[in-house]
Amino acid sequence: MRFVLVSIILLLISKRIAFGQDTINIKSKPDLHGYHYQDGDPYRPGVMGFASFVLPGLGQMLEGETGRATLFLGGLVGLNIIRYSFITRPESGSLHNVNNISKVRYILLGLHIWALFDAVHMAKVNNMKFRNQNPGSVSLNLAPYFGSDDYNTYINDMPVGLTILVYF
């Protein structure tokens, strides 16, 4: 159980490790409340989150966050070693041992969920950092246009077209 506590403490301080990798300066932390994925962003938060849910640390590894990835993978390996040590004990059928195995499974599920949210968050942070370093990017989108101002009457000849949206 000491290993579990050490793993949890290491995961809790993983933000400091990521800051040490020059992921983001703590003083210039980006505001992620209005974040929306754009076409030029290098990381897709949903894909990174899914990858990290399947294998904790994989999403962080794909983002280049090797310190975080190592901690999540180490936690996964350590918790699985603890779980298999409970399974292979001679008293593996005892109620106490079954409860311990269940606790480790819940902690493993929590690790998977934590890795998912962490990968999504770091993908957003890295995308915002990329946007700040490359401010000259322009995004062009086409959107359909239906030009009716009066929705109460039937218009036989409604203007229809495309609208060009430019984000910079």
Name the band, by pLDDT with cuts 50, 70 and 90, for residue 27. Answer: very low
Please write the tens of the pLDDT for every residue from 67-112. Answer: 999 999 999 999 999 888 888 876 766 667 778 888 899 999 999 9
Count other Cβ atoms within 10 Å, centred on residue 23: 18
- Mean pLDDT of the region 132-143: 72
**DSSP code at position 70:** H
Count other Cβ atoms within 10 Å, centred on residue 60: 27
Rg (CA), the chain: 24
The tokens describing 39, both together, are: 């076409």
- Mean pLDDT of the region 16-45: 66
Res 24: pLDDT: 46
Res 22: pLDDT: 47
Share of the chain above pLDDT 90, in %: 36
| First vs last C-alpha separation in the chain | 52
Share of the chain above pLDDT 70, in %: 67
pLDDT at 26 over 50: no
pLDDT at 121 over 60: yes
**Centroid of chain to Cα 100:** 29
Res 12: pLDDT: 60
Paired with 165 in beta bridges are 141
φ, ψ dihedrals at 142, nearest 5°:
-105, 135
